[in-house]
Amino acid sequence: MTEPMVSLRGVYKIFGQDGASVMDHVKNGMGKEELLAEHKHVLGLNDINVDMQAGEITVVMGLSGSGKSTLIRHLNRLIEPTAGEIIVQGEDVMQLSETGLREVRQQKMSMVFQKFALLPHKTVLQNAGMPLSVRGEDAEVCNREATKWLDRVGLAGFENHYPAQLSGGMQQRVGIARALTANTDIMLMDEAFSALDPLIRTDMQDLLLELQKELHKTIIFITHDLDEALKLADHLVILKDGYVVQQGEPQHILLNPNDPYIEDFVSDINRARVLRVRSVMTPLSDGAVPDDAHGDVDVDDTLESMIARSGGDTSHAYVVKDGDETVGTLDMTALVRALVPRVSSDDGTRNY
Amino acid sequence: MAFYDKLFETLGLSNWCGVAGEGAPLSMADLMAQASGDAASGPFFPFPSLDNLNESCSAILQSRDVTKGIEDGFLAAKPALKSVLDPLTQPLSWMLDGALWLFEATPWFIMIPVLVGISWYASRSKPVTIFVFVAIMLLGLVDHYDVAMQTLSIIFVCTTISVLLGVPIGIAMSKSDRLQKFTVPVLDLLQTLPTFVYLIPLIFLFSVTESKLYGIAIILYAIVPVIRLTDLGIRLVDQDVIEAADAFGMNSKQKLMRVQLPLALPNIMAGVNQTIMMSLAMVVIASLVSAPGLGVNVLRGIRNLELGVGIVAGIGIVLLAVILDRVSKAALSRVDMTHVKH
């Protein structure tokens, strides 16, 4: 695997009077509650080690208070870590001077916010052009780029409106256009769609995926919504109480949760829509393809589409193709079995 | 024989005190008591105030020594203070005199259109503009045009200086919690100190004939709201927007000019409105120290019991106040409106 775009190495954040003074306790394994009770410090992040690959969407998921918004603010040092390294394109952000940091924020990372955070006294066009005008570009360049990206996110014709005149979904499109205008390799999205209603949220997720398909940015996306996380993620990081419970390929986490907390999370998911054939097929070991195969399917088909295709008949079996290559076989019985979570959500795991 | 004699005896301080009760009677009360012949009478248990203790022990100061001490101290510091403050505040005198000259020298048929024009430019409101025109005409009709212009010129200069000084101070306060902690008590003091009290030390420092005397008094009083509201306005700017500004790498100057000041503008304008109102309130009191304008007529009304003169001037002040308030409020709401058009 290539050098990661962003990597966090042993990042700790302790909120309180003197976070550094209680670092030793945390390193010796003191938990969040104990630290608060005994030392009046709040453990924000606990030994975070995450690699974020270029061109991928890394989703950081967790419930409120799990430290996910704290985590994303460490990448551009809106929050200073208590300990650890934050390496962006091989450069340790922690070593940067104030000017250097501003440079990184202007050139390398852009950010989309949960509450949009647009400038209310500027027009949509000026808002979208803001990252360039901060760098000191001409108004003409700013407007040209801003117009281009506003058009791309579907806001052509709204350039001279003020943010307050737009709906929440449209305001967030301005937020995304602003981040795109910055033309940075890395985009940080802090619960970018959480404040939107469900239909618009789906629209925005589709928009993001569509943009990502052509732009290949490195996106770090924060969410508390597992459906959203599974839809967007190439790499999923699950946070709880400031530490990483599990990280990896989302399908893998869904099928192999390593913690009751995650089992509880994934039990509520519509697995048929999320899981793909790739995750439940039997890999081809000896080249044997069942004679009674009902046809060929793609590795990236969802289980839902498979159920529809088989008409609910569990006796069917299919040959799985990745492009032209045969990669495995799919038994509908195995598929149906995979739909049942290992733990159901009714048996009290909610205590976590 | 005074009440506290025993106390000093038991404490063994008689020597330090010296002989009590010697010399001339020290206060009016003493004199009265002596005259009526019953020196020993008095409250059964007097408050141990400086004067009462002094009766038993002359080494202790009397209360009037305190006020005298303040006066002496101020007089001693005066030459030094004056040599610093005088040249520093001289431009204020020039500005006040200059503005006064300008407002008086401009003929009414130019001045009134200019004022109406300014009202229109600031408020963009027809009713307000018409009101301004009618009010000035009314003032002119009862021959109060000149004094009204004098008052206006003073307010114009003092408000301008208050804003020029107050906004930067407010910005500095919003940036530093420590500065805010030190400034707020000073602002409280300026706002609560009876307005006449400003005048006393100022009269000592400057000559009563100098216009900066009332200029300083007005500015000290009127600058407070613009400082407070600038500080408040900047502190109230949405933290999310500030965070976005940081995330896109704005430096602190860009943040101030592009985000904080524009978003704080409605609050700052409210502060300016208050500053104008307060300088108008003070300009009347400042007529005690030779400030020209409508206040002089009010003062004449009080001094000579000329009821009509005082009341007409008073109504003139009200008209000016309403003009200034409506124009600045209309300007304020215009500033607000550009941001939130739903």
Q: Which of A69, A77, A109, A115 to mutate to test the interface with B (most CBs of B within 10 A)?
A: A115
Query: Under 8 Å CB-to-CB from B129, ≥6 apart: which residues?
Result: B116, B119, B120, B123
pLDDT in tens, A87-103: 998 888 888 898 999 99
Q: Which of A78, A120, A188 sits opposite B339 (nearest CB)?
A: A120
Q: What is the pLDDT of residue A351?
A: 43
Q: Which of B236, B248, B259 to mutate to test the interface with A (most CBs of A within 10 A)?
A: B248
Q: Higher-confidence residue: A10 or B25? A: A10
Q: Provide mean pLDDT across the span B317-335.
A: 88
Q: Which of A105, A135, A165 sits opposite B247 (nearest CB)?
A: A105
Q: Higher-confidence residue: A114 or A21? A: A114
Q: Provide mean pLDDT across the span B293-315.
A: 92
* Nearest residue of chain B to residue A74 (CA atoms): B247
**Cα–Cα distance for residue pair A227/A275, rounded to 1 Å:** 11
**Cα–Cα distance for residue pair A186/B95, rounded to 1 Å:** 56
B238 CB near a chain A CB, below 8 Å? yes
User: Cβ contacts (< 8 Å) between B246 and chain A: which residues?
Assistant: 78, 105
pLDDT band of residue A25 (cuts 50, 70, 90) is: confident
pLDDT of B342 higher than 80: no
User: Cβ contacts (< 8 Å) between A121 and chain B: which residues?
Assistant: 262-263, 338-339
Q: What is the pLDDT of residue B274?
A: 93
pLDDT in tens, A146-194: 999 999 998 999 999 999 999 988 999 999 999 999 999 999 999 999 8
pLDDT band of residue A332 (cuts 50, 70, 90) is: confident
Residue ranges of chain A whose CB lies within 8 Å of a chain B CB: 76, 78, 101-106, 109-111, 113, 115-121, 130-131, 134-135, 162, 164-165, 178, 182, 188
Helix/strand/coil for B67: helix
Indicate the average pLDDT of chain B.
87
**Cα–Cα distance for residue pair A276/A260, rounded to 1 Å:** 23
Percentage of residues of chain A with pLDDT beyond 90: 34
Strand A91-92 to A83-88 pairing: antiparallel
- The helix (H) or strand (E) run that includes residue B314 is helix B307-337
What does residue A44 show for φ and ψ, rounded to 5 degrees?
A: -90, -55
Q: Do A162 and B339 touch (CB under 8 A)?
A: yes
Q: What is the pLDDT of residue B24?
A: 52
**Cα–Cα distance for residue pair B90/B281, rounded to 1 Å:** 24
Q: What is the pLDDT of residue B234?
A: 95
The amino acid occupying position A158 is F
Q: Which residue has the tokens 């303040």?
A: B70
User: Cβ contacts (< 8 Å) between A195 and chain B: which residues?
Assistant: none
User: Cβ contacts (< 8 Å) between A102 and chain B: which residues?
Assistant: 249-251
In angstroms, the separation between the Cα of residue B236 and the nearest Cα of chain A is 14
In angstroms, the separation between the Cα of residue A141 and the nearest Cα of chain B is 17
Q: Provide mean pLDDT across the span A40-61.
A: 90
Q: What is the pLDDT of residue A144?
A: 94
Q: What is the pLDDT of residue A301?
A: 82
* Nearest residue of chain A to residue B266 (CA atoms): A121
In angstroms, the separation between the Cα of residue A249 and the nearest Cα of chain B is 29
pLDDT in tens, A191-222: 999 888 888 899 899 999 999 999 999 999 99
Rg of chain A on CA atoms, in Å: 23
pLDDT in tens, A257-305: 888 888 887 877 778 878 888 888 888 776 667 667 778 888 888 888 8
Query: Under 8 Å CB-to-CB from B123, ≥6 apart: which residues?
Result: B129, B326, B327, B330, B331, B334
pLDDT band of residue B229 (cuts 50, 70, 90) is: very high
| Burial (CB count <10 Å: 0-12, 13-18, 19+), residue B291 | buried
Domain A51-266 has CATH 3.10.290.10: no
Q: Provide mean pLDDT across the span B238-245.
A: 92
List B residues 257-316 in contact with A (Cβ-Cβ < 8 A). 258-259, 262-263
CA atoms within 13 A on the CB side of B210: 20
In angstroms, the separation between the Cα of residue A165 and the nearest Cα of chain B is 5
pLDDT band of residue B99 (cuts 50, 70, 90) is: very high
Q: Provide mean pLDDT across the span B12-18.
A: 77
Q: Do B339 and A121 touch (CB under 8 A)?
A: yes
Q: Do A162 and B342 touch (CB under 8 A)?
A: no
Region(s) of chain A under CATH 3.90.1280.20 = 271-338
pLDDT in tens, A251-264: 888 888 888 888 88
**CATH assignment of B77-337, among 1.10.3720.10, 3.40.50.720, 2.60.40.1180, 3.30.830.10:** 1.10.3720.10
Query: Under 8 Å CB-to-CB from A172, ≥6 apart: which residues?
Result: A112, A116, A192, A193, A195, A196, A204
Query: Under 8 Å CB-to-CB from A207, ≥6 apart: which residues?
Result: A153, A154, A173, A176
Domain boundaries, chain B: 5-61, 77-337
User: Cβ contacts (< 8 Å) between A162 and chain B: which residues?
Assistant: 338-341
Percentage of residues of chain A with pLDDT beyond 70: 94
* Nearest residue of chain A to residue B342 (CA atoms): A165
Per mean pLDDT, which range of A280-289, B2-11, B90-99, B318-327 is the poorest? A280-289
Q: Do B248 and A111 touch (CB under 8 A)?
A: yes
Indicate the average pLDDT of chain A.
86
The topology (CATH level 3) of A271-338 is: CBS domain Like (3.90.1280)
DSSP A64-87: TTSSHHHHHHHHTTSS--SEEEEE
pLDDT in tens, B131-155: 999 999 999 999 999 999 999 999 9
B205 near B74, Cβ under 8 Å? no
pLDDT in tens, B162-211: 999 999 999 999 999 999 999 999 999 988 888 888 788 888 888 888 88
Q: Do B248 and A134 touch (CB under 8 A)?
A: yes
Q: What is the pLDDT of residue A264?
A: 82
Neighbours of B75 (CB within 10 A): 10
pLDDT band of residue A342 (cuts 50, 70, 90) is: low
Q: What is the pLDDT of residue B337?
A: 57
Q: Higher-confidence residue: B4 or A160? A: A160
Per mean pLDDT, which range of B3-17, B64-78, B184-198 is the poorest? B3-17
